[in-house]
Chain A
């Protein structure tokens, strides 16, 4: 079985990234855990994707004006980015600061928002909130462009408090009042977008944020007990000082990276699964002056993170991107990426088009009879394709190790997919299956097929659905 170092590294890379091949895990393990965490937390030190090459071959990526085009691009990034945590954090914020293509109908504009998450998503929380508040896709999605000084629209103001920065409540009490919502909305009046150029005949143009001073309510406001002539940036400055903001981010980070938690509507009355862990992240938030990387560092280096193995159901994006990283397909531009990207949608996560502003419910809610079948069919199709480089690598490695005993084959296949473990009953079933398939002769064509079958059976297990 894989060493403890490899098992821990597999856990880290599944959570802080989209998984890794066994060869990559060996390299990471040789560097040491904290060094790898440091590397993950410093994405700008790793090369970005070469966009000129990608736009040359995926010609539609230079324009990126349709949802499906953007979804393919996002999928490619998740499969290939050498800055996996940056990509994971982009997905994290996308699931919280939701905008949907069903309303925006402008894929590139949402892509710009995701680019902003890539740039700011691991830095200062107030800066991120400010960028979000002037993001044209958000301004449009939550109707802040329809909020006027003499007729406020509460939508953005409410969600900023409820779903983006504080949450309805914690420890059994409310975090804000209805009056706070109204005052918040007043402070953001005049934060709007310029009138857009219509899509016909030459396609969409990026929208532009505009501050309309004539439509801003300059009057006195009282928010969270403080009074002044607040503008939107003053509101953000007050929000980030609240204990509720620290709690809000800490719980989201815990749910996304550590272990499945109850969904956000339950947070007011349901205490965190691990209050001590949440407290450590809250402390890091305040001690670092609201720095997200400081929270991530505390989290990844903690024992409670390291010990939370397979405590999370993989999201569809993690399932698809993680499997593609293992089979090493689409590592360079080639036709046929769209159906791979669509698998994420079919498994219940229509990226850049979440069901509501609350985003996707996670954990067990990812799984139903339909999405489970999608997961198993997709992952088994990939693992059964012995022409894919990653599958070939696994077969080649087992061959070179001369592994020919059924039990050892199953164990080594589990290692290769990321140091998984199976309940004894399931493992015995796999061992029996391969035993009945005939003798194992490493290096033969038949051996490759037998290994692929074991890989297919492993990805079809309940255990593979967990990260």
Chain B
């Protein structure tokens, strides 16, 4: 089993606050890996470190054997890491399909002169881009909504569009930040199916942050648990469910005896 992503000793300090403290992350190819933890545990900060939104204070990150920590975010993206955001960050005044085309264009830019003089090659390229964008829209279940402004899409569709846009740069690693946040059980189940399909059909490796235990336990092969910036547990869902440190972190030490099952039932 070859590792796609390997991050060792990642720390991030904001002034006096140690947001992430010596976290290790090893994710094999085509895995679905979850990162969980209470609010403020440093999950999103870890994502930000992986994508170079912030520079880690210490540690090394390798993707497919190439070191990527400290690179400019656009170069990290060209190495094949794409992400979505906890608070949806689409390009609100662009249409759904344009949101995706931005990523497609960035991956393989068209010739500027071709665009200026509307050459046949340019038209072919545009047709191709539109076809690929339409296919991506279809892949996340947004058929026929390409012409709507992103800001006018319903909430669930915006989450799906964000995933499609992330897919547009043809990544090897997809980071999903709370993809099922704010969704009802039916919607989050559909999201779960979508994530699984992305892995199976596109061979993607997926790391997701998620609060809904039903989603996390149902989909991930391995789970990393963060609390106060530190990794307190790592293992399969079954191991995490039994881990007393995790239960204590989530529910407080006294409630630990009721176990993780209660939390899972709450969703």
> Does B bind A?
no
